[in-house]
Amino acid sequence: MRLNTRIYIAGHRGMVGSAIWRALEAKGYSNLIGRTSSELDLRNQSAVSDFFHTEKPEVVIDAAARVGGILANNTYPYQFLMENMQIQNNLIDSSLQADVQKFIFLGSSCIYPKLASQPLKEEYLLTGTLEPTNEWYAIAKITGVKACEAIRKQFGKDYISLMPTNLYGPFDNFDLTTSHVLPAMIRKFHNAKVFSEKSRVSEPVELWGSGSPMREFLYVEDLAEAVVFALDNQFRDNLYNVGTGEDLTIRELAELIQKIVGHTGEIKWDASKPDGTPRKLMDVSKMEQAGWKAKTSLEEGVRKTYQWFLEHQDSFKEVKID
């Protein structure tokens, strides 16, 4: 990779894309390309094709997606399926047509079967049924993985898929309707802490489910470093898990965030709400054998994320899905 290689980061304003942009700039890459959704609608095939014809990127990193937690996935299944397929298919096919030699597709650990053996290995893909609460997003991401694999097999191009575990960090979505579990907890505990301090009455925090499911979390800046590593190296296979290889219960996560935020009230668990997949721990041995390993502990990452939240909370806008 040359430092002036033309690298297009799709979704460069999002949590993942912006972290990748910062990591590449820190490494000295000087020819980064980005477009906002208002400048380029990635769901529009002709617009994406025209963009590739004009900008001629040499490398493409697909960090663009419609994302959300259980509530958003359950409420808008069609959008999560169709729009994610439109985005990734346009990017992948335009990259092939424009002779882009290196493409990095970012997916999600939800592509693996709900009841697959733990930890999740790459070869478990398509060996069982998916978690119903996010199967629409998962199916879209699986088609992206397979499209990159097909191009790699048929055309010999260096198209690879990185499957990160649950991500969090700066520029995360803290909207309580559409966010994932970790940023939602940060906001809930913070709001309850502020209310308690103002009212002098201990405000409880209500959380979904039983608290028993186990989850793995990766600080987004670690993922960005994994993407830079993938750019700088040629991988033997097409699919690699990216995570920490360690997990904890949702209850333990809540207690950690509660401690970091400084909330002292009660935590109430609403067992009538869905838990989702019982466990999702990634087997990250392939990535470690390739030469990369996560370095940020969960406590350190949550502390950094909460500090970022405090510094930017006045700018947050509620996210609405049309």
In whole angstroms, what is the distance from residue 146 CA to residue 126 CA?
11
In whole angstroms, what is the distance from residue 159 CA to residue 42 CA?
19
In whole angstroms, what is the distance from residue 4 CA to residue 112 CA?
37
Q: Is 166 annotated as a binding residue?
A: yes
Q: Is 99 annotated as a binding residue?
A: no
Burial class (CB in 10 A: 0-12, 13-18, 19+), 289: exposed
Q: Is 312 annotated as a binding residue?
A: no
Active site residue 159: no
Q: Is 209 annotated as a binding residue?
A: no
Q: Is 109 annotated as a binding residue?
A: yes
Considering the candidates 8, 29, 76, 137, report the single residue annotated as catalytic.
Answer: 137
Q: Is 198 annotated as a binding residue?
A: no
- Count of H helices and E strands in the chain? 10, 13
Q: Is 113 annotated as a binding residue?
A: no
Q: Is 263 annotated as a binding residue?
A: no
Q: Residue 196: what are its φ and ψ, rounded to 5°?
A: -65, -40
Q: Is 11 annotated as a binding residue?
A: yes
Q: Is 176 annotated as a binding residue?
A: no
Tokens representing residue 87 in the block: 């985005």
For residue 146, how far is the Cα from the chain centroid? 18
* DSSP alpha helix (H) spans, the chain: 15-26, 45-55, 70-75, 77-97, 135-155, 181-199, 220-232, 250-261, 285-290, 298-312
* The pairing of beta strand 214-215 with beta strand 279-280: parallel
Q: Is 2 annotated as a binding residue?
A: no
Beta bridge partners of 269: 207
Q: Is 12 annotated as a binding residue?
A: yes
Q: Is 144 annotated as a binding residue?
A: no
| Catalytically annotated residues | 137
Binding positions for NADP(+) are 11-17, 106-109, 141, 164-167, 180
Binding positions for substrate are 188, 208, 215, 275
Binding positions are 11-17, 106-109, 141, 164-167, 180, 188, 208, 215, 275
